[in-house]
Amino acid sequence: MTVDTTHPRSIPSADWVTIPDLYADPYPIYRRLRAEAPIHWVPAVNRYLVIGYEACHTIELDQERFTADETNSLMKRSMGHSMLRKDDPEHDVERKAYGGVLRPKAIKQEWNQVFERSFATYLERLREAGPGADLVTEFAAPFAAENLRVIMGFENATQEDVQRWSQTLIDGTGNYADDPDVWAAAERSSREVDVAIDEMLPILRDRPNGSLLSALGASGMPLESLRANFKMTIGGGLNEPRDAIATTTWALLSHPTQLASVLADGRWSEAFEESIRWVAPISMYPREATRDTELCGLHIPRGARLGVAVGAANRDPEVFVDAESYDIDRPRKPHLAFGGGNHFCAGAWVARASVVNVALPGLFRELPGLRLDPDRPAVCGGWVFRGVTSLPVLWD
């Protein structure tokens, strides 16, 4: 590793890091980087990669020095200018427009029954596919997509539409390789979402309901902001619960002693929280330095583009003992998988309710002898968004 002398105060430069290697498995890269410094200039992604827990947490809580409104943001290009790329007070206004739609009271009154209905539908789909089926394709992805479709108010779309929109839009958000095909797919989905929103808004004004689109349509939020926030929600609102289901199932089936403890004592919440620490579904997001500043003893120049790698921070050995391992018995310390500060994930309660209370206990209850397929190992991928992309499973 060399030192980049074009950046003051000797922030290390990791010119050996490549995007394909990050996608395949970023954790060995993070370990190598961490041994030298908590922040590195990474030319392949054209930004400073922040990998230390302390540094990431500091950035999350300090929007005065580190703005979410990044210049030339990939998320803005893919999804529009959502509240995730805004600071307070603008961010706070749009966040409050979401009202109580995603909060525990609404989950209890309206959405839990949706989760149970979706679970029954896609459990049957998984059973019909038979032992050896891919848990991600046949259950986790459609389950998360159908829940999101109903909560958002897309009566004019299918869960397959929501899956396609989500994947192509987040692919655009993570398109650090500037692949034109990725941009084309994201743009097609963006137009489709706009059409679906425009169709539903007048319907929901005439007969309002508890959906997110109904709430935002009545909030007075400008249409372009509404569209951008909806696309942002489609992205994170699907991939977080989908990947949490797959990662937690994979982790428990790979650690039978821990699985036995979860089954005996109903420790689904601990299994879930540990899995999203271990493999954070949203593993990196951008910030931009608003001024020359110092972070963890290193100089950050004004305008610096930062990649806040919470996937790396969640495995920082200074915070988490034996951080590379999955361990539901580890001492509880706050992970950063849902972000923090003013940008703490608005969908965290939905993810926890649908995954912890419904999907995980239901899968292990209804599929006796659930186990990994020894002939077809799980496949993982990603570094901006990371998860289990294929999980073949067997059951009795």
CATH classification at residue 82: 1.10.630.10
Domain range for residue 200? 2-394
The CA distance from 225 to 202, in Å, is 17
Matching residue, tokens 């942002």: 232
Strand partners, 40: 49
Listed range (57-61, 100-104, 345-349, 391-395) with the worst mean pLDDT: 345-349
The DSSP secondary structure of 265-309, one letter per residue, reads HT-HHHHHHHHHHHS-SB--EEEEESSSEEETTEEE-TT-EEEE-
Judge if pTM exceeds 0.85.
Answer: yes
In terms of Cβ atoms closer than 10 Å to its own Cβ (0-12, 13-18, 19+), residue 27 is: middle
What is the percentage of the chain residues whose pLDDT exceeds 90? 91
The CA distance from 195 to 70, in Å, is 27
Q: What is the pLDDT of residue 9?
A: 64
How many residues are listed for the chain in this entry?
396
The DSSP secondary structure of 31-67, one letter per residue, reads HHHHTT-SEEEEGGGTEEEE--HHHHHHHHH-TTTEE
Q: How many CB atoms lie within 10 A of CB 283?
A: 27
The CA distance from 43 to 133, in Å, is 40
* Stretch (H or E) spanning 13: strand 12-13
pLDDT band at 332 (very low <50, low <70, confident <90, very high): confident
**Average pLDDT of the chain to the nearest whole number:** 94
- State whether the Cα torsion 59-61-67-70 is positive or negative: positive
Q: Tell me: the pLDDT tens digits for 148-207?
A: 999 999 999 999 999 999 999 999 999 999 999 999 999 999 999 999 999 999 999 999
When divided into structural domains, the chain yields a total of 1
- 259-266: average pLDDT: 98
Q: For the sheet containing 12-13, what is the strand order?
A: 2-3, 12-13, 39-42, 47-50, 305-308, 285-289, 66-67
Listed range (5-9, 112-116, 125-129, 355-359) with the worst mean pLDDT: 5-9
Q: Tell me: the pLDDT tens digits for 297-323?
A: 999 999 999 999 999 999 999 999 999
Name the region of 105 (left: φ>0; alpha: ψ -120 to 50; beta: rest).
alpha
User: Is there a contact between 116 and 205 (Cβ–Cβ < 8 Å)?
Assistant: no
